[in-house]
A = this chain, B = another copy of it.
Amino acid sequence: MSTQLDRARAGEITPEMHRVAEKEGVDPELVRRGVAEGTVVILKNRVRRNCDPVGVGAGLRVKVSASVGLAGEGDTIAGEVEKVRAAVEAGTDAIMDLSTAGDMDGARRAVLAAATTPVGTLPVYQALVEAREKYGAAVKMQVEEMFAVIERQAAAGVDFLALHCATTWQTMRAAKKHRRVDYLVSHGGSHLMGWMIHNRRENPLYEHYDRLLAICRRYDVVLSLADGWRPGCLADSLDAAQVQELVVLGELVARARKHGVQVMVKGPGHVPLGHLRATVQLEKELCFGAPYFVFGPVVTDIAPGYDHITAAIGGALAARAGAEFLCYVTAAEHLGLPDVQQVREGVVAARIAAHAADVARDPRAARWDLEMSRARKALDWDRQIELALDSSRAAMMRRERSRGSHQACAMCGKYCAMQVVGQYLGKEQGVC
């Protein structure tokens, strides 16, 4: 069966491309060309029914993704579904189910049912957990079993799969030579490396990459090539391991495209302000313009409790520099797992970053800001609340905090300064 990429190359504008173009307000031919060139991917598993396709890439709005998942005792599927609903309500473009414990098949089913957005997963988690249950050790995972889980998740309708295919021995040797401050922060990546070292084998996702591509083709799943050497602190940004892996990622992007598989690349993580442009530019060059899905990035390590803000700064800048997909970071990052409120705020912060960059990338994005500014000028509070990115929060804060601002006009007395100036500016001739 042909993929969106095959069909785009053949000159066909698919219903999914039309739908993406409609939502973005762009020419469907622009979407088709982007998909054909690989600079745009469409997140939509062939077998999934309840998902509105989302386009990610050059020329389209910057998108955001929110992660949920069962992480241990106390987590429930209902609780994670509540987070999905909060994230979707807050306007996320995609959900990732990163469950690492409990009933992972059940959680995925529930997330896929609850989300109307594309859903991504990191299937190696489940393969490792099942191996631990079966053999008492995750490192005993069999390659066949891993591919069986990947196929199972793709068949379940997952729209994009995060896989650390480029975390090879070559990258491990680069990391060994070039000591890091914080050597590993990618959860999936570190488990895979543990497996590789324990079993003295190459990364099976790299070794059997064609097999993986065949699964992605079958379901038209977007391959999200993850970075096992994602730096975990500013000090490790753009080090040998990260850049070596990016070189391998580029090779894998080319191979995926050759096989008609849609592909995007995941990126850091922790990036100092001064590295953001280079980080994005490097991905664009080495990975032939593949959409860049960055995690934050957070621009400082010193603000646990506020990493939705450190990530909003990095996300805005990364997207301005060319990244097209922002994985949210919540206020709980580096401290624990987010609650529903933090999920919600994380999505809003990422959307702020995405929109700020959209305004710089495409003047049409600023129409929303212009509408808001006109509503402000007209003191039309209903319209301001309606236009607010988070209307319920804006309405609540307006109710709670507006007392003082209502009274500011008590300053003038007989003549309202604003009125005086407004009359002057509105007239054809000045008074002076």
Chain B residues, CB < 8 A from A152: none
Cβ of A329 < 8 Å from any Cβ of B? no
- Assembly CA distance A182 to B378 (angstroms): 9
Greatest chain B CB density within 10 A among A406, A408, A415 is at A415
Question: Do A414 and B137 touch across chains, with their CB atoms under 8 A apart?
Answer: yes
- Number of A positions contacting B (CB below 8 A): 128
Partner of A138, one of B272, B417, B421, B425: B417
Cβ of A169 < 8 Å from any Cβ of B? yes
Produce 1/0 per residue, A286-327, CB < 8 A to B.
Answer: 000000000000011111111011101100110010000000
- Assembly CA distance A193 to B136 (angstroms): 77
List 6 A-B pairs, minimum CB-CB distance, nearest first: A194-B417, A336-B401, A72-B407, A233-B373, A137-B414, A132-B413
Known interface pairs A71-B405, A176-B425, A306-B390; 11 further A-B residue pairs with C-beta atoms within 8 A, sorted by A's residue number: A125-B411, A128-B411, A139-B414, A181-B374, A193-B420, A232-B376, A272-B360, A301-B370, A305-B394, A306-B389, A337-B403
Q: Which residues of A contact B (CB under 8 A)?
A: 71-75, 100-101, 125, 128-129, 131-132, 135-139, 169, 172-173, 175-176, 179-184, 187, 190-191, 193-198, 200, 232-236, 272-274, 299-306, 308-310, 312-313, 316-317, 320, 331-332, 334-339, 342, 348-349, 352-353, 355-357, 359-360, 366, 368-370, 372-374, 376-377, 384, 387-390, 393-394, 396-398, 400-408, 410-425, 427, 430-432
